[in-house]
Amino acid sequence: MATFSMDENGNIRRDPISVDELCAWADAYQKTYFPRHDPKCNIQIVDNAGGPACFDHSTKIMYVETAATISEKLSRILLLHEMIHINFIEDGQDPDEAHGDRFQAEVRRLFTAGAYRTLL
Ligand SMILES: [Zn+2]
């Protein structure tokens, strides 16, 4: 659950998103949008992901850049993106890192299913 703090200027800000929150969202997405595989949350928040988020093919660890965790919407979009790749691997397929037709078809499927309804 989101928590909020007051900064030095008196502004109320959402506290950075935690790994527990990311895992809860990822588990819910897995059950709803990728039910063919069981949820297996393996997420780390790091300062050197090499981009907003990435994943390691061999370990299936998802890395989310610390800077991305200031935004719940961005973090959720990143989760869905990486989960498309990871579920391709779980299916025994290439992860389609070039985001080709197979990846785009999954984005369309998730969009139609409502995954991005409150995010875009
Ligand atoms: Zn990608």
Question: 98 C-alpha to center of ligand 1: Å?
Answer: 7
Predicted local distance difference test score (pLDDT) of residue 13: 81
Question: 81 C-alpha to center of ligand 1: Å?
Answer: 6
What fold, for 15-113?
Answer: Zincin-like (3.30.2010)
Question: 14 C-alpha to center of ligand 1: Å?
Answer: 27
Predicted local distance difference test score (pLDDT) of residue 2: 78
Report how far residue 52's alpha carbon sits from residue 56's, in angstroms, rounded to the nearest whole number. 14
Q: How many CA atoms lie within 13 A of 24 on its CB side?
A: 8
Question: 5 C-alpha to center of ligand 1: Å?
Answer: 33
Encode pLDDT of 35-63 as tens digits. 988 888 899 999 988 889 998 888 879 99
Percent of the chain predicted with pLDDT > 90: 69
Q: Nearest-CA neighbor of 19 among 49, 42, 36?
A: 42
Are 95 and 85 a contacting pair, CB within 8 Å? yes
**Which contiguous run of DSSP H or E holds residue 46?**
strand 43-46
Assess whether pLDDT exceeds 90 at residue 5: no
Kind of pairing between the strands at 43-46 and 62-65:
parallel
Report how far residue 45's alpha carbon sits from residue 49's, in angstroms, rounded to the nearest whole number. 8
Question: 8 C-alpha to center of ligand 1: Å?
Answer: 37
Predicted local distance difference test score (pLDDT) of residue 80: 97
Are 16 and 66 a contacting pair, CB within 8 Å? yes
Question: 15 C-alpha to center of ligand 1: Å?
Answer: 26
Question: 56 C-alpha to center of ligand 1: Å?
Answer: 12
Assess whether pLDDT exceeds 80 at residue 84: yes
